[in-house]
Copies of this chain bind each other. A is one copy, B any other.
Amino acid sequence: MRNYLSISDIDSLPDWVAAARDLKKNPRKFDSLGKGKTIGLLFFNNSLRTRLSTQKAAMNLGMEVMVMNFGSEGWALEYGDGTIMDQGTSEHIKEAAQVVSQYCDIIAIRAFAGLKDRKIDEAEQVLNGFKQYASVPIVNMESSVGHPLQALADAITLAEQNAKKRPKVVLSWAPHPKALPHAVANSFIEMMQLQEADFVITHPEGYELNPEITKSVRIEHDQKKALENADFVYVKNWCSYSHYGKILGQETDWMMTNEKLGHAKFMHCLPVRRNVVVEDAVLDSERSLVIEQANNRTYAAQVVLKKLLEN
């Protein structure tokens, strides 16, 4: 593995999940592996879980960590080829990526979708720019179209909580006052396609995700039908993909409730808006796995960094 940019960089999901669960039992076991190695965490957007869990994972491996809010602490980056840079951008991604590579053994990057232009978002200019020009491995800490550290943590959580050979897992769209990216849903779907499961996506019509990602996964517009006999329900909002970046309607009746959930376990990547995305009663119940998902972010990041360090 050269980089960890998307779920497709995982060669064997069961092996990675097993390795992460081993690390969770003894997080400091490999604390000399990263000695003298440095990771740079570059944030172009806000972060809580990713910021802290990736730092923690790196420190567990004995690495040194440099955190930088690239947007506010560095220089505005240019991505275009051949641009005459006489406007607002001061530094080209070509230089930035090569320069950071001089100081870091691994570079991790968070750069969200702008949700204004699908082509621009799908070009992943920040992540792909670093991938193209950096001379060290790149880790995706959530890009325009994917959040593979989150999906790997979700796979760990599912493995810990699931007792069935083929559990039913439902990804259920939720209402939200702001237009949110597709990254978490995309990576969760890609990850689920590597699992033995009865996997269903449910959302109101108009919220279809990129068909190149959902592929042949069953899509059921009737939420009630989709949730029948579910073992795990992953709830997440995303904005429209076809009417790119738009909210089509409030659809407040899509909020997850205890009643809808039935006997299933509840999952969400956080942050979550209470009583909009999901009611308090679910989050405050024993069936909510959200804190354990957050905990597993450390071990997801740690297994990725460990593999990159061992390469």
Most buried by B among A51, A96, A98, A102: A102
B90–A274 touching, CB < 8 Å: no
A82–B275 touching, CB < 8 Å: yes
B53–A274 touching, CB < 8 Å: no
Q: Chain B interface: which of A42-50, A155-163, A197-205?
A: A42-50
Chain B proximity of A139: nearest CB distance (Å) = 17
Chain B proximity of A54: nearest CB distance (Å) = 10
Give CA–CA (A276, B102) in the complex, Å.
25
Tell me if A309 is interfacial: C-beta within 8 Å of chain B: no
Which residue of chain B is the closest to A99 with respect to CB atoms? B294
Tell me if A22 is interfacial: C-beta within 8 Å of chain B: no
B47–A73 touching, CB < 8 Å: yes
Give CA–CA (A87, B276) in the complex, Å.
10
Chain B proximity of A218: nearest CB distance (Å) = 30
Give CA–CA (A106, B249) in the complex, Å.
43
Closest 6 CB pairs of A and B: A91-B271, A85-B273, A102-B295, A52-B103, A48-B74, A84-B275
Chain A residues within 8 Å of B, Cβ to Cβ: 28, 31, 36, 38, 40, 43, 46-49, 51-53, 55-56, 59, 64, 66, 68-69, 72-75, 78, 82-87, 89-92, 94-96, 98-100, 102-104, 177, 270-276, 280, 283-284, 290-291, 294-295, 297-298
Given A46-B73, A102-B295, A294-B99, the answer on whether A94 and B56 have CB atoms closer than 8 Å is no
Copies of the chain in the assembly: 3
Contacts of A82 in B (CB 8 A): 275, 280
Chain B proximity of A121: nearest CB distance (Å) = 21
Contacts of A177 in B (CB 8 A): 86-87
B103–A275 touching, CB < 8 Å: no
Which residue of chain B is the closest to A91 with respect to CB atoms? B271
Contacts of A283 in B (CB 8 A): 94-95
Chain B proximity of A27: nearest CB distance (Å) = 8
B95–A272 touching, CB < 8 Å: yes
The 30 sampled A-B contact pairs (Cβ below 8 Å) are A46-B72, A46-B75, A47-B74, A48-B73, A51-B73, A52-B66, A53-B102, A55-B103, A56-B66, A59-B64, A69-B73, A75-B271, A82-B280, A83-B275, A85-B275, A86-B273, A89-B273, A90-B271, A91-B271, A94-B274, A94-B283, A95-B270, A95-B271, A95-B290, A95-B294, A96-B271, A98-B294, A99-B270, A99-B294, A103-B298
